[in-house]
Chains A and B, each alone.
Chain A
């Protein structure tokens, strides 16, 4: 299966509030809150680190969850946010870091 690389869209607003990430699309004003695990994936979405590595190094280690289950959850999360244009997904590293206006 091809590797996934994920990067945050520039057309969003985001802020951490009490352990949860609030994310709002500037395109359609859709509002999301991400739980602690999803927030960790979000913050690691730098366009260079493969999703599988994010799952292994961040999710499995920090949240004590088995690799297969964590990967399934991460795939679902990435699919959903990419459908709303909140996350950009590619099979190649996403090198255009200008698309990510900040790293809050």
Chain B
């Protein structure tokens, strides 16, 4: 176990929040087609409020702090926030589109000791990237920003969200990252909007493309190992927690709302009304999330993939049940191994069985007879 993994385990054992993802604004200068946020400002926290939250997070033991948005540089006080975060000795990661980063901003980030910058790039081709961000010239400015940041010696990661519209460009983005000397990470997950709107799910890449990603040695390393059938789950797997959300990590919105994770919009408290530690320790919602073990998941506990699946409880929650399957992750497990998940098999069986009782609108005079007939059909079906 690595030292970092040991610390994560220790934080889990002690019930401490070691990581916080803090969106300091939802405002943005891009309008990405797949974005899950509402970019209007509905009353963001002030500088003083954010600084107070940062001090509370430091006292609570938070070490990893991701500052994100929206576009973080849309806040005029962005560097003031980073400066205070660094004074409080957080390990700071900044997620940005880079459009507003020039030499001066890159130098300031370096001076403040930001550990890592993550920048979204959707394609190496301007016509594709700019069509996704809906900001003409955005790829050029983003790539310039990466060069400025690299020249300062900062660690930069290109995050490539894969959608149907840019899937074929992932090798081009990977080559761009190599050329720029930065890290590359790929994410095929498109999440529903925070308000529950699922229309953007249609942008997800189809299963066949997902399969191609999972069988690309350059992306996953040892394909045979990565795509191997899942081993039989042991007791440790059934007693395991699904992910760090609510256990050692949480998310804070620009309005002070606390959630288990940015992908898990279960309102668990608000730092404008309560102290962060009170929410972390006593929120009924966070405590419910923490109580769930793999064995408590009605469908997933019976699934062959239970020990290796990337099941996201937040996506499951957005599908209607935090103890249910996350169909996007069922699809990933299937495309990776070729073995359908328990949820997929259940849905296939339900679809092929068809309805047991056909309900039709009938005249009152024959309704009783019809009910009797349907019951008879059901009995026949069950005895076959």
Bound CA–CA A26/B16 (angstroms)? 23
- A73 CB to closest chain B CB (Å) equals 20
* Known pairs A10-B113, A22-B63, A26-B114; A15 contacts B58 (CB<8 A): yes
Residues of B within 8 A of A24 (CB): 63, 91, 115
Residues of A within 8 A of B62 (CB): 15
- A12 CB to closest chain B CB (Å) equals 7
The segment from B82-90, B259-267, B280-288 that touches chain A is B82-90
Number of B residues whose C-beta is below 8 Å from A?
A: 26
B88 & A18 in contact (Cβ 8 Å cutoff):
no
Flag A1-45 by CB within 8 Å of B: 1 or 0 each: 000000000111111111010101011010111000000000000
A13 & B4 in contact (Cβ 8 Å cutoff):
no
7 A/B residue pairs, CB under 8 Å, sorted by A:
A10-B113, A16-B61, A18-B10, A26-B115, A29-B116, A101-B86, A104-B89
Task: Tell me whether B14 is interfacial, beta carbon within 8 Å.
Answer: yes
Task: Tell me whether B18 is interfacial, beta carbon within 8 Å.
Answer: yes
Task: Tell me whether B32 is interfacial, beta carbon within 8 Å.
Answer: no
Cross-chain contact of A17 among B61, B115, B153 (Cβ < 8 A): B61
The dominant DSSP class at the A interface is strand
Bound CA–CA A18/B12 (angstroms)? 11
Residues of B within 8 A of A26 (CB): 91, 113-115
- B59 CB to closest chain A CB (Å) equals 9
B89 & A17 in contact (Cβ 8 Å cutoff):
no
* Known pairs A24-B91, A29-B115, A101-B113; A17 contacts B58 (CB<8 A): no
Of chain A, the residue at the smallest CB distance from B65 is A13
B18 & A33 in contact (Cβ 8 Å cutoff):
no
A13 & B3 in contact (Cβ 8 Å cutoff):
no
Within 8 A of A (CB), among B311-349: none
| Count of A-B contacts judged by CB separation below 8 Å | 62
Bound CA–CA A71/B63 (angstroms)? 30
Cross-chain contact of A13 among B6, B11, B63 (Cβ < 8 A): B63
Cross-chain contact of B89 among A18, A20, A33, A102 (Cβ < 8 A): A102
Residues of B within 8 A of A22 (CB): 7, 63
Residues of B within 8 A of A29 (CB): 115-116, 155
- A25 CB to closest chain B CB (Å) equals 9
Bound CA–CA A24/B10 (angstroms)? 17
Residues of A within 8 A of B92 (CB): 13
A31 & B4 in contact (Cβ 8 Å cutoff):
yes
A101 & B11 in contact (Cβ 8 Å cutoff):
no
Residues of A within 8 A of B87 (CB): 101-102
Bound CA–CA A95/B92 (angstroms)? 26
Closest 5 CB pairs of A and B: A13-B91, A15-B63, A26-B113, A101-B87, A102-B87
A17 & B11 in contact (Cβ 8 Å cutoff):
yes
- B224 CB to closest chain A CB (Å) equals 30
Bound CA–CA A102/B6 (angstroms)? 25
Cross-chain contact of A104 among B6, B58, B155 (Cβ < 8 A): B58
Flag B101-112 by CB within 8 Å of A: 1 or 0 each: 000000000000
Residues of B within 8 A of A104 (CB): 58, 88-89
Known: A17-B7, A33-B6, A102-B89. 19 other contacts (CB 8 A): A12-B113, A13-B63, A13-B89, A13-B90, A15-B63, A15-B89, A15-B90, A16-B61, A17-B61, A18-B16, A22-B7, A22-B63, A26-B113, A26-B114, A33-B3, A101-B86, A101-B113, A102-B88, A104-B58
Bound CA–CA A14/B91 (angstroms)? 7
